[in-house]
Amino acid sequence: MNSPVPHDRPRVLVLHGDDLPPGHERMDDDPRLGGVVYATADELPARLPGAHVLLVWDLFTEALASAWSKADSLDWVHAATAGVDNLMFPELVDSDVTVTNSRGVFDEPIAEYVLGQVIAFAKDFQRTWDHQREHRWEHRETERVAGKRALVVGTGPIGRQIARKLTAVGMRVSASGSRAREGDPDFGTVVESSLAERGSDGGPTLVSVLPEADYVVIAAPLTDATRGLVDRRFLGSMKHTARLINVARGPIVVQDDLVRALDGGSIAGAALDVFENEPLKAISPLWGLPGSVVSPHMAGDVVGWRDDLMDLFLDNLARRLDGRELLNVVDKSRGYVPG
């Protein structure tokens, strides 16, 4: 698609689900805009023509891909999410349309969630709560957090905040990323995210350091390289006392392989906030497997998060109107904002 020269009074289209974004009134009557239009996924094809800016507020929708042929004026898409995998369809990737995301809004809340899960595992809170409901007094010992090893898969801003939180309680943190390096300010050592025995530089890789980790935290974007990364081999490389925490995207983990690992005791537990298909079906074994903790894709959703998302978009919209550089521009060839 050939994108036209940006309009001096751009028309904004908001793709929403059940609810409109909070504070949307702040742009409804903005004289600098050529109008603001709202559409659900079903309405998108009819309302997309003539729109210059698209705010994807329907967080995980894939409606834009099917309506893309109607995007005759679009030059900027903003996602109200950190992950943009639902927008990385070939036509958009190959176009001149700029994509931005909501990087920065979820970093601290997700890091707090991960820290909470680590402490809950180590201190056996689940069994404490179960025993309280049963009025059962049973003394037992728990684990230390300080000194444990955490491996963070993904070195973006969410992964960095996770590393800082875990380091603050005395954990030894390392990471895997697209490029191996030493002396990283948050991770120390970063190994190449590869399941090969040796990296491209001949150094250690993800698969070689997995056996050292007590906690493996998935914080990477969903890309062709990470889809299905956590499979039988990955899980089999973890030690049987280790726990997996996934706050990234569900398809990074091969769910059937994880079920087998938990059911067979080859890992000690998994805290999962994301799943291959959401919502997680009531019949899924993950609800009741030993060591399994399920939350409904809420790790980053703290009080006020929607307002923060809208504030970020409005700041970027002001930048667009002022002719300034946009924040959080996604490298569409990679599927994320470069660090």
Positions annotated as catalytic residues are: 249, 278, 297
- Tokens found for residue 29: 């009557």
CA distance 287 to 284: 6
CA distance 261 to 255: 10
CA distance 319 to 77: 14
Is the distance from CB of 295 to CB of 269 less than 8 angstroms?
A: no
**79 in the Ramachandran plot: left (φ > 0), alpha (ψ -120 to 50) or beta?**
beta
**71 in the Ramachandran plot: left (φ > 0), alpha (ψ -120 to 50) or beta?**
beta
Is the distance from CB of 14 to CB of 21 less than 8 angstroms?
A: yes
CA distance 339 to 16: 29
Angle CA(314)–CA(62)–CA(54) in degrees, nearest 5?
25
